[in-house]
Structure 1
């Protein structure tokens, strides 16, 4: 098998459908614009972000039915290398609608259909066979999957000295941290849960992250602080950058774009300071576009240049 610097895993992908409407009125038929379709799901979005930075990754994902086939075709059109795992149930859809009258965005996400025991094993066997430097586990898990499924994948990857990057939440994040992964990207609320408190103030983020690192759960923690920016913490360093002031149109895919920018920078052997700034630049640039389109490279480049001095 070909060696890829980056491989992304998406066990619960989605065919993202987005549209515009003018006036959301109960009980009435709502006329919408022609829909836009995008391949979605955490890891898939990370691969798309890497492609926009002229990087290369392998997108490993489950794909079922016509929706799964459409996701594969959309990724191939973007020049992304794919390794779909064919499953019986159709891949889920998600739906984003923008009301032009109010500029309000409505996001609807459906649960992913359950994977059979055989299909779970297919995912794990694929991971055993990959040759990669960085493995990105991103997004939600399907209905019925055990909360330690990402942990199982991470344990397999670590046996091959693969650096595991995780962007998920809840119990699946807590479980995967038992394997000492390379990098996690919680938001400040998720970080608070990991250290057992209700909330964290800005000045408490560094100590909270270092506590998790000291426990051997992760080497690098990047904390997303929303409109305040982001911080990158290791056992002996702390770096913070503010979020650029941009005209936001959608937050869909911003977190995945941030992860994509960071893992791309890591694969290019850039410094951790640059890794953080590329992540914030790509995440912020993604909010400048509608629907599920992620970011434009020219926006990411411009924001990165601004962040270099921060």
Structure 2
């Protein structure tokens, strides 16, 4: 079985609650409280591990919330290596309003990282032993936009493919440098990268193919939310429509997509089949409230439907 190492520079304790109704200034009683370790790379590792893969979580951790975050990972049995930082790990909240079915999400920017802490993180990457390296999530304040470029250079020197899932300037800078194995932008992130409207799947596929043609990434999987997803590779593009399911939470759907697609690739499945498996993973994630992410039974059941789409 292939292994992955995930890097999460801005992890978060994901708190989620159910309420009857959100009312300004009122004390609102919650139920079904859940506290789980989150952040892009952590979520990818959780799902990849559920599928039977081997993982190691690398992340920044600080303060009392960092200690709590470490404990949450230990409770899940996820192998981990934390880089200690001075400022506390962030806490994010997702509130599901029962009366309307709406979900409210509150996400802090995260701690400010020093140059010394950043350098220590890069040093740790030279010790990582894995088959795929996943750089996933936002960059916290203090870390330069080219951090994932430097991380990718370290991985290439060691012959380890880089899997990227980030946004904004970090995505633009890293893709421009090239050499990414798999990148998973959302449609909005791809629009921001290209500066184009990209409304239809055909236009999105063309933009993704341009990334492949430029040598910036070998595989580009673009998630389109309720519309589906597009895969671009050297042989062309594939569009798969989304399954019609009742969504309970959008938190971590993209991470579940990436984890399941990468797991399938690690098993030797061809990119299109792996992409469809990723679609099932993303759909399975939204079935669960809060930050439950995708579960194997749901993934397999939904994959049978995606395969016919």
TM-score norm. by structure 2 comes to 0.95
State how far apart, in whole Å, the 1-side matches of 2:193 and 2:108 are.
26
Q: Which residue of 2 aligns with 1:8?
A: 6
Q: Which residue of 1 aligns with 2:222?
A: 223
For 1:171-215, what per-residue CA distance to the aligned partner results, in whole angstroms no more than 9, with x for missing partners? 100111113211111122222333331333222122211111111
| Contact 1:66–1:90 under 8 Å retained in 2 | yes
Q: CA deviation at 1:276?
A: 0.4
State how far apart, in whole Å, the 2-side matches of 1:246 and 1:184 are.
26
Seen in structure 2, the aligned counterparts of structure 1 residues 213 and 258 have a Cα distance that, compared at 3 Å, is same
Q: Which residue of 1 aligns with 2:212?
A: 213
Q: Which residue of 2 aligns with 1:75?
A: 73
Match runs of 1:114-193 below 5 Å: 114-177=112-175, 178-193=177-192
Q: Which residue of 1 aligns with 2:87?
A: 89
State how far apart, in whole Å, the 1-side matches of 2:85 and 2:285 are.
31
Q: CA deviation at 1:275?
A: 0.9
SS state at 1:57 partner: strand
State how far apart, in whole Å, the 1-side matches of 2:188 and 2:21 are.
33
| Contact 1:4–1:57 under 8 Å retained in 2 | no
SS state at 2:59 partner: strand
Matched residue pairs, number? 308
Q: Which residue of 2 aligns with 1:286?
A: 285
For 1:57-107, what per-residue CA distance to the aligned partner results, in whole angstroms no more than 9, with x for missing partners? 111111112222222222222222111112121100001111122222110
| Contact 1:59–1:80 under 8 Å retained in 2 | yes
Q: CA deviation at 1:292?
A: 0.8
Q: Which residue of 2 aligns with 1:197?
A: 196
SS state at 2:66 partner: helix
Q: CA deviation at 1:258?
A: 0.5
State how far apart, in whole Å, the 2-side matches of 1:141 and 1:62 are.
11
Q: Which residue of 2 aligns with 1:55?
A: 53
State how far apart, in whole Å, the 2-side matches of 1:305 and 1:53 are.
16
Q: Which residue of 1 aligns with 2:271?
A: 272
Seen in structure 2, the aligned counterparts of structure 1 residues 232 and 199 have a Cα distance that, compared at 3 Å, is closer
Q: CA deviation at 1:126?
A: 0.8
1:304 aligns with 2:303: yes
| Contact 2:285–2:294 under 8 Å retained in 1 | yes
| Contact 2:201–2:230 under 8 Å retained in 1 | no
State how far apart, in whole Å, the 2-side matches of 1:222 and 1:285 are.
17
User: Residue 45 of structure 1 is aligned with which of 43, 46, 71?
Assistant: 43
Q: Which residue of 1 aligns with 2:248?
A: 249
Structure 1: 5+ residue stretches without partners: none
State how far apart, in whole Å, the 1-side matches of 2:220 and 2:150 are.
21
Structure 2: 5+ residue stretches without partners: none
State how far apart, in whole Å, the 2-side matches of 1:267 and 1:69 are.
32
Q: CA deviation at 1:35?
A: 2.3
State how far apart, in whole Å, the 2-side matches of 1:265 and 1:31 are.
42
| RMSD, aligned α-carbons | 1.5
Q: CA deviation at 1:4?
A: 6.7
State how far apart, in whole Å, the 2-side matches of 1:72 and 1:4 are.
25
Q: Which residue of 1 aligns with 2:262?
A: 263
